[in-house]
Homo-oligomer: A and B are copies of this chain.
Amino acid sequence: MRAVRTRIASRALVPGDRLPSVRGFARTMGVSPSTVVEAYARLEAEGVIRARRGSGFYVTGADLPPMALAEMGPRRERDIDPFWVSRQSLDADPSVLKPGCGWLPADWMPNAALRKGLRALGRANDALLSDYGGTRGAIELRRLLIARFADQGINATADQILLTGSGTQAIDLICRLLLRPGDAVLVDDPCYFNFHALLRAHQVRIVGTPFTPAGPDIAAFEQALIDENPRLYITNSALHNPTGASISPQIAHRVLSAAAAHGLTIVEDDIFADFEPTPSPRLAILDGLQRVIRIGSFSKTLSASVRCGYIAARADWIESLVDLQVATSFGGPSPVSTELIAGVLAGGSYRRHMDDVRQRLTHARIEVAERLAQLGIVPWIMPRGGFYLWCRLPDGLDSAVVARRCMERNVVLAPGNAFSASQSAAPFVRFNVAQMRDPRIIPILERAMSEGGTAAARG
């Protein structure tokens, strides 16, 4: 029954199509014909399929199930499917250990400032508490962003900033505006796994560029522009997810020059900005928000529970994005949320909090790297900041297999191929150094590795 449903959901079978014969389908599925007869009978009872006398079963239109998103792209093993990785992290119960997740532990976050902000909100006026906000989001938070950008050398105006429901929603809105199904989109290989999920939802062609410790492999990048004519390039220039690398000034300049020559728009996801000890080059700064769209959020440094992201771009693009956000969300992020975030950012404690977090992360990075080294796990580079270590497992180990074994013991890992368009990162794992404090993690990892997690041992 599930096999038939899946085919209908993925539109491999559409209303009016004939189902495989009972005998043929039984062979395909490796089950007895009577099992197929029973499954077809049940599906008929549900109205999903209908028998036509003497000519077999047909898909009805009476119960058209939706297209399942997971069926849209090339099918991957469950362990490295981006949706599965996200869900494991987001829905894990508190007892699960999550060195594979993409956020700091709750007790590293500025909770005292958040609590203070919530108490202040309790004294806010009625309109703030219960009215819709403006279409671009609270001016106070946009002004704080403008001031930050000015410090970095970007002169943006309030009509160049749009607040969104989250950083992911920011990229999603941009994709909706700029992309059509079938367009090519360039990403780093490896890149943040949810870029793959998001781009699959847009039914575009994902083109990976090999990533080096100084940014995208520029020769491959330039060639991809010629060969694939991509409409968009989505990247983290600073503290790249998953590698922690930052782009060099030379590569940044060449990326922008190539983009200009080919009419390429760039989305720079600057979500890890505040984790840098000193600023590295940014495409958005060099470009001055012409063809580079900067997006970001406060989920990694302030709160992922209070959701808000932003887009900084040319004013005419923002104007179109406002319409799109009104149509699809009726307005921007929650005014209660933006007020809370603006309050924490403007307060004196946020800067101290981030100084403290950066320092703790530096210690954690070194300590975790040492512990992993004892298992023969080696970082690809030692990042300048952030909480990721992109590491290679000892020769022959497949991280998807190791991740599956760890999951059986309540440890969520982030296996390399979840991040790789070319599926060439099987030996890699992304570790979150802030989530490695639990002493059970290393022994569980060691045991999973020792059980021989090679590709051959999978079956």
A86 CA to B198 CA, complexed, in Å: 28
Q: A265's contact among B64, B130, B194, B328, by CB below 8 Å, is which? A: B64
Known contacts A262-B61, A263-B64; A305/B130 CB under 8 A: yes
A335 CA to B123 CA, complexed, in Å: 21
A304 CA to B337 CA, complexed, in Å: 12
- Assess whether A144 is interfacial by the CB under 8 Å rule: no
Chain A window 55-66, contacts with chain B (Cβ cutoff 8 Å), 1 for yes, 0 for no: 000001111111
Known contacts A177-B67, A304-B132; A198/B263 CB under 8 A: no
Known contacts A129-B303, A337-B336; A134/B91 CB under 8 A: yes
Q: A129's contact among B114, B129, B165, by CB below 8 Å, is which? A: B114
A94 CA to B16 CA, complexed, in Å: 56
Residues in B whose Cβ lies below 8 Å from that of A262: 61-62
Contacting pair B132 A263 (CB below 8 A)? no
B-contacting residues, A114-145, CB 8 Å: 114-116, 118-119, 121-123, 125-136
Residues in B whose Cβ lies below 8 Å from that of A194: 326-327, 330
Binds B, one of A101-109, A216-224, A244-252, A441-449: A101-109
The prevalent SS among residues of A at the interface is: helix
Known contacts A67-B177, A119-B118; A305/B90 CB under 8 A: no
- Assess whether A235 is interfacial by the CB under 8 Å rule: no
Contacting pair B305 A128 (CB below 8 A)? yes
Report the minimal beta-carbon distance from A137 to chain B, rounded to whole angstroms. Answer: 11
- Assess whether A5 is interfacial by the CB under 8 Å rule: yes
Residues in B whose Cβ lies below 8 Å from that of A60: 263
Protomer copies = 2
Contacting pair A307 B323 (CB below 8 A)? no
Closest chain B residue to A330, Cβ basis: B168
Residues in B whose Cβ lies below 8 Å from that of A329: 165-166, 168-169, 172
A412 CA to B223 CA, complexed, in Å: 53
- Assess whether A316 is interfacial by the CB under 8 Å rule: yes
Closest chain B residue to A85, Cβ basis: B326
Contacting pair A115 B122 (CB below 8 A)? yes
Residues in B whose Cβ lies below 8 Å from that of A326: 83, 86-87, 90, 194, 197
Closest chain B residue to A169, Cβ basis: B329
For this complex, 18 residue pairs linking A to B, each with C-beta atoms less than 8 Å apart, are A5-B316, A62-B262, A64-B231, A65-B317, A66-B317, A69-B320, A86-B326, A87-B322, A106-B129, A111-B129, A114-B130, A118-B118, A118-B119, A122-B122, A132-B299, A133-B305, A165-B169, A303-B336
- A residues contacting B by CB (< 8 A) are 5, 9, 15, 47, 60-70, 82-83, 86-87, 90-91, 94, 103, 106-107, 109-111, 114-116, 118-119, 121-123, 125-136, 165-169, 172, 176-178, 194, 197-198, 200-201, 231, 260-263, 265, 291, 299, 302-307, 316-317, 319-320, 322-324, 326-331, 333-337, 340
